[in-house]
Chain A
Amino acid sequence: MRQITYREAIREALDEELANDKNVILMGEEVAQYNGAYKVTQGLWEKWGDSRVMDMPISEAGFIGMGIGASMLGTRPVMELMFWSFAYVAFDQIINNAASVRYMSGGKINCPIVIRGPANGGTSVGATHSHTPENFIANTPGLKVVCPATAYDAKGLMKSAIRDNDPVYVMESTVLYGELGDVPDNADLPNGELLIPLGVADIKREGTDISLIAHGRSVIVCLQAAEILQNEHGISAEVVDLRSIRPLDEETILESVRKTNRAIYVEENKPFCGVGSQIVSMIQEKAFDDLDAPVLRISAIDAPAFYSPPVEKMQLPYASQVVDKVLTICEPAYA
């Protein structure tokens, strides 16, 4: 199958949706003339011009609020945050206005926006640039949040996010932008395009002994850990990728846990009230009798993001850490 990078996959999604609906526009800092701070939008301004791909000043509250206002009249803005960490200067717009305007108007208004950009640590840019606010967003009714881990998912989820009539916040990863993945040509797809519905999790690797459940880049970490577990310990780990945090596919998670009877949630989010907290709570409530061990979590070490490169790598989940945690609740087939 054709392989493209995660970055190219998002770009293809944006390009296809610009073609699909004239109301779709791209807005953000450096997205047009500069070709995108992380080159996600490379070439799109040249192709679509000023009326569809627009540079914005460094003014997140201003331009995101402007996008929300325009969306109330039917524009469908896809707004790039250079880092999701910059969302915090625009939280009134992102949280209060986007999530509440439909509700407070008694359903008279909707807000079909997408806000996208990287939300990850691991690149030594310090605490202010390494936030992972998916738990904040998922905590807010009215908003949707997706965290693609692969090029395939990034393309399919982005296209669905743009077509969705509610605010969808897409959290990408600068670490993944250059990663290659299988993404079919549209010509090879039955419907001629790749759309992945929000709210559907994906089994990234099948297994029988333990469920490693994750979102975003931690899915990749879990896949690495699963390989080690299989090769070195004879443990068959299943890797469940949430893909979409809200809406959430609870059934796929529960089905996996009912099969393996053990689970660990792995994420870059901080532990306190992280996404994993919600998932673990749900598992104990709905699959208690199927569990052979406590459901564990691996999160970022609970402190602001560390700068020093080798230390920051140890702050975020890594494969051998996942392996070690699994071995605390799984009996190895061979020692």
Chain B
Amino acid sequence: MSTSAKTTPTTVTDPTEFATYAINAKMTTEEKIHILAEMVRVRRFEEAAFEQYQKGKMGGFLHLYNGQESVAIGQISLLGQNDHIITAYRDHAHALGVGMNMNECMAELYGKITGCSKGKGGSMHFFDPEKNYWGGHGIVGGQTPLGAGLAFHLKINGQKGCCLCYLGDGAVNQGAFHEALNLAGLMDLPVIYVIENNGYSMGTSQVRSSAWKNCLAYRADGYDIVWDMINGWDIYEVRAKTQIAIDRAHNESRPTVIEVSTYRYHGHSVADANAKKYRSEDEIKRFECEFDPIKVWRDRLYTEGVLTEDRYKQIDKAAKEEAKASVLFADESAYPTVEDITKDVYWEVDNDTIAGRTGRHFFND
């Protein structure tokens, strides 16, 4: 049995094909550049985070998204007021993409009180409900019924919207995902399951972890859910095909499963063995050279004549400075205190209601 990933594209997308789709054809130059800038921001943020992680500034895990940026950023660029997103633990890009700032994200990685979850969530658990961002979930597949629930709320309240629910290729084997698919198909939920297929379920390649016919998304057929596949490194294709799913959710209240081929450069978490154990350096280098989503999109914008090298340098410089400033912010922020441990457990207690003051809620001395 081969141990390599199955994410190698068989053909490189015709760069002109998806560019002509209405959702892409109407993009302004600034919108195109904004997507590039957002991807660069994510890359530079995570590079800075990695550097600080290696210096011992953070605890636990750090699951980096390097190489996958076009998926979250491309899709988030399509979302409107009633569209929601929820993802698993590789959640930094989605957070920055919806508009959370680098400072609160870096501070959360550090476990500081100024972090987006006040230091209670860490890398895997970023949230910002005001920006329709519902996490950041640590248990593989555990977020998939929640995504159905966000869509369910929209549906029963007659709101035209959808939920983009992300999962990795490893999560397709979790029971919760299949239960969620059944509910989505059965109840006509406006949810889009996005399988970010980076080829590796932690350190186990797709061929060693999943049984499938044609592709992973094909499993949706069994639930009468429309599915599609996307070359994740092509922003035009990501946007074009995702928009079709969003329209289906908005107009027909029907779910979609999308499998996006993508690739991560780092290990599952940065501490894992990566190329020393389950894949080759050459494989990683090949993806970095040929399918890096930032390079692919940048070069396309050069070709289209909408981006200059100077502009790109400015974008890159600004992202690096923003990331550097977030490190400084996190370094200078205070840690939470022991008193903070029992806050944010119960809404009624936090809000000092009669219910929150009745009976003992905590069993410390």
List A residues at the B interface (Cβ < 8 Å): 25, 51, 56-57, 59, 61-75, 92-93, 96-97, 101-110, 112, 141-142, 144, 160, 164-166, 197-200, 244, 246-250, 278
Chain B contact residues: helix, strand, loop or mixed: mixed
- Contact partner of A70 among B152, B186, B353, CB < 8 A? B152
Docked complex: B164-213 residues within 8 A CB-CB of A:
175-176, 179-180, 182-183, 186
B contact residues vs A (CB 8 Å cutoff): 84, 86, 115-121, 125, 127-130, 134-139, 142, 144-154, 156-157, 175-176, 179-180, 182-183, 186, 343-348, 350-351, 353-355, 358-363
Q: Provide the bound-state CA to CA distance between A244 and B358, in Å.
A: 11
Q: How far is the CB of A163 from chain B (nearest CB, A)?
A: 8
Nearest residue, chain A, Cβ from B130: A108
Q: How far is the CA of A112 from the CA of B149 in the complex (A)?
A: 13
A101 and B135 form a contact (CB under 8 A): yes
CB distance from A205 to the nearest CB of B (A): 21
> How many angstroms between the C-alpha atoms of A70 and B180 in the bound complex?
13
Q: Which residues of A contact B149 (CB under 8 A)?
A: 65-72, 75
Could you pull out 19 A-B pairs where Cβ atoms are within 8 angstroms? Answer: A62-B176, A62-B183, A63-B179, A63-B183, A66-B149, A68-B146, A69-B86, A72-B129, A104-B120, A105-B127, A106-B116, A107-B350, A108-B130, A112-B347, A160-B355, A164-B355, A199-B355, A247-B359, A249-B359
Question: How many angstroms between the C-alpha atoms of A13 and B74 in the bound complex?
Answer: 47
User: Which one of B147, B151, B358, B362 has the highest number of Cβ atoms from chain A below 10 Å of its Cβ?
Assistant: B358
Q: Which residue of A has the minimal Cβ distance to B141?
A: A92
A109 surroundings in chain B (CB, below 8 A)? 127, 129, 134
Contact status of A110 and B347, CB under 8 A, knowing A65-B145, A66-B148:
yes
A76 to chain B, nearest CB (A): 11
How far is the CB of A60 from the nearest CB of chain B, in Å? Answer: 8
Q: Is the CB of B359 within 8 A of A198?
A: yes
A250 contacts across to B, CB distance below 8 A? 360
User: Which chain A residues border B350 with CB–CB below 8 Å?
Assistant: 107
Report if A59-B183 is in contact (Cβ < 8 Å); known contacts: A66-B149, A165-B348.
yes
A102 touches B344 (CB 8 A): yes
Kindly report which residue of chain B lies nearest to residue A102, judged by CB atoms.
B344
CA distance A105 to B126 in the complex (A): 7
Contact at A102–B347, with CB atoms within 8 Å? Answer: yes
Roughly how many angstroms separate A226 CA and B8 CA in the complex, as a whole number?
Answer: 74
The residue on A at minimum CB distance from B186 is A57
CB atoms of B355 and A197 under 8 A apart: yes
Taking CB as reference atom, which chain B residue is nearest A99? B345
* Chain A residues with CB below 8 A from B147, complex form: 69
Chain A residues positioned under 8 Å from B179 (CB to CB):
59, 61-63, 65
Chain A residues in 8 Å Cβ range of B130: 108
A-B interface, 3 closest residue pairs, ranked by CB to CB distance from nearest: A199-B359, A69-B149, A65-B145
For B343, give its contact among A66, A92, A107 (CB under 8 Å): A107
Closest to B358 in A: A199
Q: How far is the CB of A72 from chain B (nearest CB, A)?
A: 6
Minimum CB–CB distance from B22 to chain A (whole Å) comes to 30
Knowing A69-B146, A108-B128, say if A197 contacts B358 (CB, 8 Å). yes
Whether A93 and B145, one on each chain, are in contact in the complex, defined by CB atoms closer than 8 angstroms, is yes
A69 to B348 CA separation, bound complex (whole angstroms) = 19
Contacts of A69 in B (CB 8 A): 86, 134, 145-153
Give the Cβ gap from A144 to chain B, nearest Cβ, in Å: 8
**Given contacts A68-B146, A108-B127, are A61 and B175 in contact (CB under 8 A)?**
yes
Q: Which of A59, A73, A106 contacts B344 (CB 8 A)?
A: A106
Docked-complex contact A105 and B125, CB < 8 angstroms:
yes
Measured CB to CB, the closest approach of chain A to B174, in angstroms, equals: 9
Q: Are B135 and A25 in contact (CB under 8 A)?
A: no
Contact in complex: A164, B344 (CB < 8 Å): no
Contact A142 B346 (CB under 8 A): yes
Whether the Cβ atoms of B150 and A104 lie closer than 8 Å is: no
